[in-house]
Amino acid sequence: MPVIHPILVGIGQITYRPEEHPDYLHPLQLGKIAAESAAEDCRCPAVLGHADTVTVINMFSHGYRDPAGIFCEMLGIQPRVREYTAMGGNTPQWLVNRTADRIARGEISVAVLVGAEAMNGAPAETRDNWLQDLASAGGPEMVGDTRWGSTPHEMLHHARYPLEIYPLYENALRVPRGMSIEENRAFLARYCAGFSKIASENPRAWFRKARSIAEIGTVTDRNRMVNFPYTKYMNPIMNVNQAAAAVMMGTDTAGKLGIPREKWVYLHGGADGTDKWFLSERGDFTSSPVVREVSSACLSMAGREIGDMDLFDLYSCFPSATLLQAREMGLDLERLPPLTLTGGLPYFGGPGNSYTLHAIVEAAERLRKDPSTFAFISALGWFFTKYSAGIYSGQEPGRTWDRKGQGALQKKLDAQQAPPLNMAPKGTAAVEAYTVMHDRKGEPDYAIIVARLENGERCWAMTEKDPDLFAAMEKEEFVGKKGRVSPGGDDPNIIKF
């Protein structure tokens, strides 16, 4: 009896720029184009009608009450399962892994995965009309982990959004790497320029201009400092109109539908995990156990090592996200291979939760051209919180798809230890991680501090609004610097240096 492998057979994506099109399309319209392209790609135009599962990735740009139901109506199909996911950049790879599990178990036959955003160019009244016209009764049930990423205490100290959190990691990582602030900023500019060049060669990238090292690293009116040490050009771009889709099935179904073998892209490995959910519970800001364990499990399942990978797309919302992943995988940060296939979220575009579906599409295109190669794709949700990885190739795996070790992996992550959190700290504390956030004019606005008290307890704090202090924090190394912290009650804790 032949072994059944889960495979990708159809892929499609679209980047829809207002300057190139006179009309606006809402995200599900973009998703429909991508899904129809995926059906055409696999040379089986009727494949969407065979789908028994359709999953729509969570969207930021529109709040449809029944996204998957509306999408299926637009396609004129009636799958048995219609799903909408929770938020998280990890979602596309998590979804591929989950779908592969279900195909391998015989629970589903043909799955359509789609992600789309339409954030650029549409006036508010147009969005209101979309919602009024398309929203139907009821609300979508979500698959995936729906927990919010921060605690109320963390949010009190402005640890709320990715643009406030990832620079904490960046500034903390600088120290074990033995870098000065200026050396680190020069490194970041070089790193980002490499991503920008890849995007410039990608016709689907939102920004197709290669930005120079100086252009990315130099603070100007157009490239203001946003979240130290990141300039605007180092931040992801979410104001995009992009969609991607993939059709998945088993090799048995693909054979029955007559889908050519040169279209088949195999999954060789897949793993998912969640770290200690909240930042306050993490062991430190210079490592990521979830990246280390999930990437290792993914490689082990595929029977491969990191050096066997020919292509990478490591989730790239901010430089620290990609660089810490590479570090945990054992890659040399001074001699990195290209870590993006698309150009990354700051240059290709960051369509909400669905970016990695574009990376998977890019990988599939390349693997079809050279089936002997392997691609490692990762996806990251919240703040090194939810993490998924997948290994793809054009060659058939030598083993069946089996992820029975997932439970043990998660138990290992759940068993991690972290320093106690003191929510009303008082006394001397040394900075563990920090960032300075700037307003839309580029002026320093507030600083976020994670510190350790002398007894080893962790605390969150902010500083008073002091432009001179903010300037010093961007020139002098404040990781390890000691100050006096006092409890804020209903307000943030305050640290003085």
Q: Who wins on pLDDT, 1 or 372? A: 372
Is a pLDDT exceeding 60 seen at residue 408? yes
| Torsion angles phi and psi, residue 289, rounded to 5 | -55, -35
Alpha helices in 218-265 (DSSP H): 251-257
Is a pLDDT exceeding 60 seen at residue 135? no
Residue 411 is encoded by which pair of tokens?
């138990």
Interior CA angle at 353 toward 149 and 190, to 5°?
A: 90
162-174 and 181-200 helices, crossing angle to 10°: 120
**Residue 306, CA distances (Å) to 177, 313, 333 in order:** 21, 13, 14
Which percentage of the chain shows pLDDT scores above 90?
A: 90
CA 325 – CA 328 distance, rounded (Å)? 5
pLDDT of residue 123: 62
Q: Which fold does the domain 427-496 belong to in CATH?
A: OB fold (Dihydrolipoamide Acetyltransferase, E2P) (2.40.50)
Residue 388 is encoded by which pair of tokens?
């998924």
**Residue 101, CA distances (Å) to 88, 91, 271, 278, 408 in order:** 20, 15, 11, 28, 17
**Residue 353, CA distances (Å) to 57, 318, 426 in order:** 7, 14, 39
Residue 445 is encoded by which pair of tokens?
């606005």
- Work out whether the CA dihedral 2, 12, 356, 318 comes out positive or negative: positive
For strand 241-250 and strand 110-118, is the pairing parallel, antiparallel, or unpaired? Answer: antiparallel
pLDDT of residue 24: 84
Interior CA angle at 345 toward 293 and 294, to 5°?
A: 5
CA 412 – CA 416 distance, rounded (Å)? 7
Per the listing, tokens 């799903």 go with: 83
**Residue 127, CA distances (Å) to 24, 118, 366 in order:** 10, 10, 36
Instruction: Give the type of residue at 98.
Output: R
pLDDT band at 137 (very low <50, low <70, confident <90, very high): very low
pLDDT of residue 126: 53
Encode pLDDT of 248-299 as tens digits.
999 999 999 999 999 999 999 999 999 999 999 999 999 999 999 999 999 9
Listing DSSP states for 20-35 in one string gives G-SS---HHHHHHHHH
Q: What is the pTM of this model?
A: 0.95
pLDDT of residue 314: 98
Encode pLDDT of 13-43 as tens digits.
999 988 888 788 999 999 999 999 999 999 9
**CATH of segment(s) 6-148+238-414:** 3.40.47.10
Domain boundaries, the chain: 6-148+238-414, 160-234, 427-496
Which residues of 382-476 form beta strands (DSSP E)?
386-393, 427-438, 444-453, 458-462
CA 50 – CA 61 distance, rounded (Å)? 29
| Torsion angles phi and psi, residue 179, rounded to 5 | -105, 145
CA 183 – CA 33 distance, rounded (Å)? 45
